[in-house]
Structure 1
């Protein structure tokens, strides 16, 4: 398919790169593509950023049939623009599509469309350290119909947002709180997909955590409420003695691309890396006995997020000395250096625009 390009008549002023937040500023253009049963995916186009027109009965508004992804474009030291493992994002998008009964996309075409959009918007990719251009591919059900079934029409769009640090704390330890009043997902559901309802269902627990002075919620499994799963916006890692542990992918945990990158890098460094079940009691016992060295999260938005404090029921523990741990720092530096082109990563991890 040929992608048509319509340029905006007026361009926005670029923001101050030293004052970028996260997800509040959007670029001049976006990518759109439509689907119906007769034509399949069709009419791919890059056009001025603007509102989507939809009927009040549009199915995504009522039944949540929608999926999305999150990745970033980085300005390297030579001034070029590069992507970090984007093929994995579009592969995961198609996995989510299958779980939500959304027609699959051509992953190679989607990546090419993204590159063309980035070529149009290249001036929006910031160059200050720690900044990037956040990329949000999204697919939503578009049928005007009030009935519970899969939609027959869809919209695939990609929007872009220049961003700084995800957390106001920056690369500093955050505080997280374990919840036993709420569950995020169970095996056989959609906990391993990036779909709209997963995030809506996490808001109440997240709000309660914020009111208690914590940044995010650490979720336990939805059946026994015993095993650690993930944090609201990131996967989770524990360093106990010389073992780097992350919960195994059991069907209710999002298979994070940064998570996979940490596992791969850790193995390449000769670390003992385990993907296994880990109970919250094991974590608390490891802390009590002095064996818990670090906790950190991983995700596209923050890359690596050290955890300095953990609250479980009535117990609050300080992780390590409450500062950034050596492994969290090493992973953060290594992944960022790969993303920004300062060092060469494993084969296939960087895609030039």
Structure 2
């Protein structure tokens, strides 16, 4: 038996799994909520989305996702405040970026109401899965992939759009040490670096493993041509503080237009913090570390919000960052998370109530 909410059909799970979950000890992205949103593209159009029980997907071995990698995704979070209200953070930015990524991979774009009404309905159905614990959230993973069959190297004729959710604790804990990459590239000019394509992340795993073997936790990606300019930190955008100025690279077809990145820039500027959006060379960062003007480095992304970097390696030399009492990283993270969790005013209009 099904019901309709927000013009979305809902087929409820026969039983809930929520009573088996320890919400005080949540790993990131390991436990999944009772329901998911599913929407299929066939015969040249997207069918109406449905909320269905979380379940396995059956695909033909010739499905093109397995052979040609047509797959894009987003990362979002839902938060519950003291009044039990549920909030999203800049969801239309995620929707727009999903379609930008889809277009680059020749995947048909989604209608806005399918994404937003579907997401809202899913969160209404699984509202109890949004954690209330400090630092926890309901991680939301919208993704689209090629489900059409065939070995011919061409775009698929069928696709699936799914949103799954996972109550999660913190993504990172503590500071990380990073290795500035001198050989491998995350993306290239004219490529798909600006898209949240699954293959972008698969290509990062091997160089990151090499860095881990050397004692680092993540890689700082540099430009594909000369490896002279800093671009991203692992799967995150990167910010560098030299003296009292925050510096981050401009977006391009190599760099993801991060929503947390944009929020940090807008918030810092509103708070009177100097921000420069420009190319930043590795040698400038190394020189700043040597002369003491390098104050902070941190990654920025949905999962961790802000992840401080305690040191970096480059050309077989390690550089430690200073231990500061008052960091931009901690200040900006608290400001953003207070807005996300409805603990502070939202002068930017970023918060979206479910």
Report the Cα offset of residue 2 of structure 1. Answer: 3.4
Aligned partner (choices 27, 33, 39) of residue 39 of structure 2: 33
1:216-235 paired onto structure 2 within 5 Å? 216-235=218-237
Which whole-Å deviations, capped at 9, do the CAs of 1:258-300 have from their partners, x for residues lacking one? 0000000011011111110001110000111111111111110
How many aligned positions are there? 348
Q: Match for residue 78 of structure 2?
A: 73
The answer to whether the Cα contact below 8 Å between 1:59 and 1:141 also exists between their aligned partners in 2 is: yes
The answer to whether the Cα contact below 8 Å between 1:306 and 1:324 also exists between their aligned partners in 2 is: no
The answer to whether the Cα contact below 8 Å between 1:32 and 1:155 also exists between their aligned partners in 2 is: yes
> What stretches of structure 1 of length at least 5 have no aligned partner?
none
Q: Match for residue 144 of structure 2?
A: 139
Task: State the TM-score, normalizing by the size of structure 1.
Answer: 0.96
Q: Match for residue 49 of structure 1?
A: 54
Task: State the TM-score, normalizing by the size of structure 2.
Answer: 0.96
Report the 3-state secondary structure (helix = DSSP H, G, I; strand = E; otherwise coil) of the residue aligned with 2:47: strand
Establish whether residue 15 from structure 1 lines up as the match of residue 21 from structure 2.
yes
Question: Measured at CA, do residues 26 and 324 of structure 1 come closer, stay the same or move farther in structure 2, by a change above 3 Å?
Answer: farther
Aligned partner (choices 215, 218, 226) of residue 213 of structure 1: 215
The answer to whether the Cα contact below 8 Å between 2:72 and 2:196 also exists between their aligned partners in 1 is: yes
Which whole-Å deviations, capped at 9, do the CAs of 1:15-51 have from their partners, x for residues lacking one? 222211111110111000000234x000311011011
> What stretches of structure 2 of length at least 5 have no aligned partner?
1-5
Question: Measured at CA, do residues 237 and 67 of structure 1 come closer, stay the same or move farther in structure 2, by a change above 3 Å?
Answer: same
* 4+ residue segments displaced more than 6 Å: none
Q: Match for residue 280 of structure 1?
A: 282
Report the Cα offset of residue 214 of structure 1. Answer: 1.4
Establish whether residue 339 from structure 1 lines up as the match of residue 340 from structure 2.
yes
Which whole-Å deviations, capped at 9, do the CAs of 1:60-105 have from their partners, x for residues lacking one? 0111001000000001121110001111000100100110111111
Aligned partner (choices 102, 111, 116) of residue 97 of structure 1: 102
